Amino acid sequence: MVTMQQPTRPRLVTAEFVRLGVAALAYFFADGVLLPTVPLYVEGPLGAGDIAVGFAVGSFSATALLLRPWAGRIADRSGRRPLMIIGAATFAVSVAGYGLADAVPVLVVLRLLTGVGEAFFFVGAVTAMSDLAPPERRGEAISLFSLSLYVGIALGPPVGEAVAGRFGFPAAWLLSSGAAVTALLLARRVGGFEEAGLDDAPHGPGRLIHPAGVLPGILLLTGLWGMGGFLAFVPLYALDHGLPGSGFLLFLFAGIVVVIRAAGARLPDRLGAVRATRAALACIMIGLVIIGAWRSPVGLVVGTVVLAVGVALATPAIMMLALQDVPAHERGSVMGTVSMSIDLAFGLGPATLGIVAAATGRGGLFLVAAGVAAMGLVLVVASTRRLGARDAVALDASA
Cα separation, 49 vs 63, in Å, equals: 23
Cα separation, 268 vs 299, in Å, equals: 29
Give the model's pLDDT for residue 115. Answer: 87
Cα separation, 310 vs 35, in Å, equals: 20
Does some domain include residue 4? no
The dihedral built from the CA positions of residue 48, 105, 238 and 218, taken in this order, carries a sign that is positive
Q: How many CB atoms lie within 10 A of CB 44?
A: 12
Q: What CATH number has the domain bearing residue 177?
A: 1.20.1250.20
The answer to whether the beta carbons of residues 350 and 54 sit under 8 Å apart is yes
Does some domain include residue 106? yes
DSSP 199: G
**What letters, b where the CB count within 10 A reaches 16 and e where it falls short, cover 65-100?**
bebbbebbbbbbeebbbebbbbbbbbbbbbbbbbbe
Does some domain include residue 8? no
List the one residue out of 24, 27, 51, 29 whose CA is nearest residue 254.
Answer: 29
State the distance between the two ends of the chain, measured CA to CA, in whole angstroms.
25
The dihedral built from the CA positions of residue 66, 347, 112 and 171, taken in this order, carries a sign that is negative
Per-residue pLDDT tens, the chain, 399 aa: give them.
Answer: 444 444 566 677 777 788 888 999 999 999 989 988 988 888 888 877 777 887 887 777 777 778 888 777 777 777 778 888 999 999 999 999 998 888 888 999 999 999 889 888 988 888 888 777 776 677 777 777 778 877 887 788 889 989 998 999 999 999 999 999 999 998 887 765 554 445 555 544 556 677 777 888 899 999 989 888 888 888 888 888 888 877 788 888 888 888 888 777 677 767 777 888 889 999 999 999 999 899 888 999 999 999 999 998 888 888 877 777 677 677 777 777 787 887 788 777 887 888 888 888 888 889 999 999 999 999 888 876 655 545 544 444 443
CA distances from 383 to 216, 218, 219, 317 (A): 11, 12, 11, 15
Give the model's pLDDT for residue 386. Answer: 59
Does some domain include residue 3? no
Does some domain include residue 2? no
CA angle, corner 132, sides to 149 and 258, nearest 5? 25
Question: Residue 23: which domain range?
Answer: 15-197+209-398
Q: Helix or strand or coil: residue 51? A: helix
Q: Which helix (H) or strand (E) holds 244?
A: none
The answer to whether the beta carbons of residues 239 and 375 sit under 8 Å apart is no
Does some domain include residue 332? yes
The dihedral built from the CA positions of residue 233, 238, 244 and 250, taken in this order, carries a sign that is negative
Number of domains in the chain: 1
Does some domain include residue 314? yes
Does some domain include residue 239? yes
Give the model's pLDDT for residue 1. Answer: 44
